[in-house]
Structures are given as C-alpha cells and as structure tokens.
Structure 1
Amino acid sequence: MTTYQGQCHCGQTQWEATLNNDQTNHVLCHCDTCKILGGGAFTLNQIIPKSALKFTKGGDSLKAYSYKGDSGKSVNCYYCPNCTTHAYHHQEVMGPDTIILRTAVLPKGRADFKPSAEIWGKAKMPWEKEVAQTFEVMPPS
C-alpha cells in the first residue's frame, strides 16, 4: 500500500489516498457526463473503498453535485467550492463504501499510473486510440 497526496487546483482542499498496488493505475471513463464535467475526452479514475480517502484540509467544505446515472440511482460528485476541482464521485449503485477517486489530481499518480481499463467505450471519440481493455459500458462487478 502506498499513500498518495492530492489537492484541488487552489489548494483549499487536500487529501490522502491509500491505494493497494492493484489500484495504482487509471480507469479511463469516456461517458458523456465525464466529458462535460471534466472538459476533455475522458477522465482518469480509480475505484477505491471510501475509507482509503482521508481529507487533511477543507474536506468539510466540499460541495456536491448530484445527477441520476444510467442505473437510475444518484451519482454524487464532490468538489472544491472555490476552484471546482472534483476530488471524488460516489455512485449509489456501487454501495455506500465505494467511491471513484479522480486520479488525475494525484500529482505523483497523474504521471506514474498507467491505464488499466477504459469504460463507456461506446461514447469514445472516434479519433481516440485504445490504450487498455475497453468495455462498452461499466464491466460487471
């Protein structure tokens, strides 16, 4: 296990994520919601236990944006109220103890992690090349 430091763009919110070796990679999400919220072709993520994320600064002031996912259940996006950097998301369909960490906001992880999977491949931009095993939607758990 390794602990990675993360923070939002303005530094108002800071956290630590403790990841197992099999979690030190990126899951690329190509869904349209990630494109709109992130402003890019995909987002970089990892699915982790909620207990693996500890806020060291500003965690109590996070704001939440919620929408209904394809499952019909809520997806809650937690972000810094000042700069709007997303720290993590919680998809209720995954249960209360599992979250989706944004790995692009871990300075060491952003550069060092390799892609391990691509999800929502059916929404991938036609010019994107496959860099990891691609699933049309979310793979079965």
Structure 2
Amino acid sequence: MSSYEGSCHCGETQWTVKLNEDQAKHILCHCMTCQSLSGGAYTLNQIVPKDAISFSKGGNSLKSYTYKGDSGKDVHCYYCPNCTTHPYHNQTANEGNIVVRTGLLKKAHSIEPAAEIFGKDRFSFQKETAHTFEVLPPQ
C-alpha cells in the first residue's frame, strides 16, 4: 500500500490517501454529472474505503453538495469552501467507500488508467484509453 498526497487548488485543503496496488489507477468517469461538476469531459477517480483518506489541513471545513445518483440514493460531494475543488464524494449506495479524485493527487501524472465508466456519455471526439463500461461494471 502506498500513500499519495493531494490538495485543492488554493491549498486550503490537503490530504493523504492510501491506495493498494490495484487501486493505484485512475477510473475515468464520463457521466454527465461528473462532466457538469468538473466542467470537463471526465473525472479521474478511485473507490477506496472511507478510512483510506486523512486530512492534514481543511478537512473539518469542507462543505458538501448532495444530489441523487443513478441508484436513486444520495451522493454527497465534499469540496473546499474557498476554491470549490472536490477531494472526494460519498455515494450512500456504497456506504463503506468513498470516491477519491485521483486527478488531484501530486503523483496523478504517473498513475495509469484502469477503466472508464459511463462510456455512453463519452464525448464523441475522445478515444478510449482503457476498458470501457457503458455504465457501471457489474458488482
């Protein structure tokens, strides 16, 4: 297991996330919610246990935004109150885990993609970079 440091855009929120070898990969999410929240074509993520993330700065100050996920259950998006960077999301459909934004990690450029989800919403000009699931993979 390796530790990866992350921070928001303004530096007011800083954290460490522990990823085991099979988690040290990006999952690209092309869903329309990720596109809307990020302003980009996809987000870079990984699903980890809640206790895999620890905050060294600003963790108690995070604000949250809640929406209904595809499951019909709440998804809580936690963000820096200053710059609005989203370090992680908590999907109540998968209560023991969180979705960490791996694109915010200091070593993000050295992390390879493992899979792509919600390929049905991928922008037409984007090429596939990893195995793509049309929605979520079977669990």
Tell whether 2:48 aligns with 1:48. yes
RMSD of equivalent CA atoms: 0.6
How many Å separate the matches in 2 of 1:130 and 1:91?
A: 26
Q: Provide the secondary structure at the position in 2 that maps to 1:18.
A: strand
Structure 1 residue 124, shift from structure 2 partner: 0.5
Of 109, 112, 115 in structure 1, the residue corresponding to residue 110 of structure 2 is: 112
> How many residues are aligned here?
139
Matched AA of 1:90: N
Percent identity of paired positions between Structure 1 and Structure 2: 59
Matched AA of 2:63: K
Q: Which runs of 4+ in 1 moved over 6 A?
A: none
TM-score norm. by structure 1 comes to 0.97
Unaligned segments of structure 1, at least 5 residues: none
Q: How does 1:1-141 map to 2 (within 5 A)?
A: 1-95=1-95, 97-108=96-107, 110-141=108-139
TM-score norm. by structure 2 comes to 0.98
How many Å separate the matches in 2 of 1:61 and 1:27?
A: 27
How many Å separate the matches in 2 of 1:130 and 1:51?
A: 32
Q: Provide the secondary structure at the position in 2 that maps to 1:122.
A: helix
Structure 1 residue 5, shift from structure 2 partner: 0.7
Structure 1 residue 123, shift from structure 2 partner: 0.5
Matched AA of 1:86: H
Unaligned segments of structure 2, at least 5 residues: none
Matched AA of 2:43: T
Q: Provide the secondary structure at the position in 2 that maps to 1:5.
A: strand
